[in-house]
Chains A and B, each alone.
Chain A
Amino acid sequence: MEELFAGFTSVGYRQFIMYAIGGALIWLAVKKEYEPMLLLPIGFGAILTNLPLSFAVGTAQEPGFLRILLDAGIMTELFPILIFIAVGAMIDFGPLFKNPLMIFFGAAAQLGIFATVLLAVALGFDLKVAAAIGIIGAADGPTSIYVAKRFAVQYLGPISVAAYSYMSLVPIIQPPVIRLLTTKKERTMRMEYREEPVPRLLKILFPILVTMISGFVAPISVPLVGSLMFGNLIRESVVLERLSQTAQNELAYLVTLLLGITIGSTMSADAFLRRETLLILGMGLLAFVFDTAGGVLFAKFLNLFLPRDRKVNPMIGACGISAFPMSARVIQRMAQEEERGNIILMQAVGANVAGQLGSIVAGGMVLALVPLLVR
């Protein structure tokens, strides 16, 4: 008789909290349209995982479909890599090629990663876990998942949820930080943009040579950089239009769907309802704040050395995070609000795609350096 009612007797209040968290993520996706492609599957995955006896997850002996997806897609690092191919096919580096100086904001805005690592260590996490938490500051979901899987698989759920949630909250997180660090005069600065065609040779050689440079500087970053650049090469070669469209659409949608529900499956009550989860969510938010501050302050520093006609609107620095194209749109909207007709969108997009490069390079650096330090 007891077995008949196992569905009712095998859950506790912790599972109900997880249903509420899953429901909240679905609400954010449906009602607020915050990263719906990810938050909805993550939310539903969280509910599935916490249902009585979790048959969707199963056991090691009799795995359910979520465990199979986790083992096949996350533990093998396949899903993040496939997402990178899709993202690479979506990225147009053109705005960056027209204003290469923007690339340095893609570096400066990675400050949040390393500042958060220091904070996490100060709060008592070991270096590997701290590095995985810090990488939330990459503002790049696949990189966060990739690094978390290597260094802190037990926190994969909270780290992924933080990374994707805060990416969707960029319009709320970035503006106050930018306003705090800049003057009205700085925010109304105009920037000249020249519309010139980008040579095809540059577009084709760039992904190949970037992959090779990354291979020499940080060999461990090659899977990340290589897959991103492979996708970009498919796009820029022009001769593989169907493959490019497949990568940008079918591949991206399918893997995102599976990735989301699989991440949700790591959010069992036992793994998620911990003090550490709250700390990770808090530090993830700070990582985005530090990123934004790093980019803006670096732009102001750079302006000390640039000639008057080439000075940069410091808000552009905030676009050095990888949340593409959200961050660029936010900055353009702020520029418009500060002064009607101030168009800095293309420079912002340039810094934003540089952020994509910066985040995976930073991920590679973390992957390369942490094992050297904890050896």
Chain B
Amino acid sequence: MEAWLDTLRSADTLGKAAGLAVFGMAGVFVTLFLFYLLISALEKLSKK
């Protein structure tokens, strides 16, 4: 992860923006996937 960030830091602005886009979209998807799992788990829990 740190190596990825170092590579991006040394890239030009467009490269950094591309890195932001990839990490940003991935971060949003992963976080909302965690929320999806949370909803599923809470639903099961509340039905017990």
Contacts and interface: CB of A to CB of B under 8 A. Distances in A.
A24 interface: no
Contacts of A292: none
Contacts of A126: 13
A201 B46 contact: yes
Contacts of B29: 104, 107
Given A106-B32, A357-B32, A361-B32, A117 B39 contact: no
Interface residues of B, number: 32
Q: Bin the interface of chain A by size.
A: 35 or more
Nearest to A124: B13
Interface in A195-213: 199-202, 205-206, 209-210, 213
Given A121-B13, A127-B13, A217-B30, A365 B24 contact: yes
Given A110-B25, A369-B23, A209 B32 contact: no
A374 B16 contact: yes
B36 A100 contact: yes
A107 B29 CA distance: 5
Contacts of A110: 24-25, 28
Contact of B35 (A103, A131, A205, A373): A103
Nearest to A126: B13
Contacts of B38: 206, 209-210, 213
Contacts of A121: 13-14, 16-17
Contacts of B20: 114, 117, 127, 131, 366, 369-370, 373
B42 A214 contact: no
Contacts of A106: 32
A202 B43 contact: yes
Contact of B25 (A111, A205, A372, A374): A111
A111 B9 CA distance: 22
Which of B28, B29, B31 has the most CB atoms of chain A within a 10 A radius of its CB? B28
A163 interface: no
Interface string A104-134: 1011001101110110111000110011000
A97 interface: yes
A118 B43 contact: no
Interface in A337-375: 354, 357-358, 361-362, 365-366, 368-370, 372-375
B13 A362 contact: no
Interface string A12-33: 0000000000000000000000
Given A103-B36, A202-B42, A210-B38, A373 B19 contact: yes
Contact of B31 (A114, A117, A218): A218
Contacts of B16: 121, 127, 373-374
15 contacts: A103-B35, A110-B24, A114-B24, A120-B17, A127-B17, A130-B13, A201-B45, A202-B42, A213-B31, A217-B30, A218-B31, A362-B24, A365-B24, A373-B5, A374-B16
Interface of B: 5, 8-9, 13-14, 16-21, 23-25, 27-36, 38-40, 42-43, 45-47
8 closest cross-chain pairs (CB), A and B: A199-B46, A114-B21, A201-B46, A121-B17, A365-B27, A202-B42, A107-B32, A100-B39
